[in-house]
Chain A
Amino acid sequence: MTGYIELSYLDLVLAALLLLFNAVLSLVFGLQLEKRLLIAALRMTVQLFLIGLVLKALFSVASPWLVGLTALVMALFAGREILARQQRRLAGWWGYGLGASTMLLAGTVVTVLALTTQLRPEPWYEPRYAIPLFGMILGNAMTGISLALNGLSALAARERSAIEARLLLGATRWGALQPFARQALRDGFTPMLNSMAAAGVVFLPGMMTGQILAGVEPAQAVKYQLLVMFLIAGATGLGVLLAVLGSVWRLTDHRHRLRLDRLTGDLDAA
């Protein structure tokens, strides 16, 4: 089986009618979600059409600089998303910078590794491979990193007296925060582990399904999906580790003090 069935705009409009059902649901039960539903659907439509145009232009030029720039912009948006998912975050540029930079680093390292060793397109930065791959890795690592950072800052604030007790007994900043950093790492790894465990049984991963719909042999689609899952696992591990280490470093100082005043929403900031 090769080739795929092309969609017309009318097909999309018909599918979008399903949203009307949701809107009616919202009205009947007074959920007050109609407006948000409409805005989210419109936003998604515009964003996806735009990225479609960007990708089309990018594919036709195949410039390494433009690929790099696109990846950077994606990581910057991911950084904002990470920030928005944290209740207590590092104050100032650290809050944004830590998430965005670990994302960018982990995503780039793993994507470049996959492009140069496993996929080997010609040239290696071929945007048709580089951008979707980077995007998938970013999207999943982002979830892990935001969960880990959120977990660590919440724990540090809640367990202040426990952390200070460890410091008072002569622990270093790393030693004092170790059990809590460990918990945060676990938080960050959980979604990736869950999705690996459930893939193929509870749900069919979106990328694999997409490839099958586009006419790819299922066995090949499975191989691609496995590659992507492993890459996601690697990037999540690297990103979560760097983010947690960076966060521990910023939440403490050179005199091994716990610095909750560097979190937003500190109740007794000096």
Chain B
Amino acid sequence: MGIDPFEKRILFVTGKGGVGKTTVAAALAYAARDRGMNVCLVEVAPSPNMRMIFEREIPVYKEVEVDRDLTVLSIEPFRALHEYVGLQLKIGGAARLILNNRLLNYFLNTAPGWRELITVGKIWHLYDMKVKWSNRPRFDLIVVDSPATGHGLSFLKAPSVFMNIIKMGRMQGQTDDVQNMLTDPKISLLNVVTLPEEMPVNESITLLKTAKEELGIPTGITFVNSVYPPLFDEESQASYDELQKDGKAMERLKEVFPDRAKGLLTALESRQARVDQSEFYKNMVLDKIGPPIVSIPHLFPGRVDKEGVQKVAEIINRSIKEGV
């Protein structure tokens, strides 16, 4: 594989709603952790899935070590802004005074866009943090579970939008830093998660195109999630071929199941159709987006849990080792 995601510092994981973004983000975090890295998994909006995976409440804006060398942080824009202004003014009290100003609060409650900007700003801050008394980064890797909605990448777009609005001043320099972080191929990598279905695949194509052409954000791996693997392996396929030729055995099978095994055969048909669909859209991803691609098999139950995530982490590590 041309890209080793674990050589970067920030992995953004994005995709349409319901494709398994959080699962893949958490799995990437585990995969990196298992390679000995200290990882921070960031969510930019609280998701029930994150809570389901770690089977615990995740408080807002508080770093939580959910596992060895794995920290989760749920970014909340207002809290991030408080922290930012505090850092800028170097005095907590003054920051509170200003932020409690009615006018400013009016602005913050209504103005669009700043939430996205401050969120990316906080990610920059995490990236820039050092271990106390040393020059070592606090986190080796930051994995961001990032929403893709409406305009697709509104939150990754925020710095460049604000660079247009903000023409000078201290904030402009900082916005510049953030934008440089996002566009540096040594630091950031935008990864997309999709299902093997028409809409998510098409949206991923558009999203990556926007990322490359408009935002200049380096793009990485496409994760095709919930791929149905073929039902039969070599042995069972041979066995099934034989079975089909053996009329008596087929009769026996149909006697055992009600409705002459209608359900059994319907399920087989459904499986086949899904395998075909998975294959078709995986090829479309290869064709339109290109490698590297990691496909993640459909895992049951649909409910995500830590065990499932660690399984996906193994798949990711294996794929990267084998070269995708």
Partners in one complex: no
- Which residues of A are interface residues toward B (Cβ below 8 A)? none
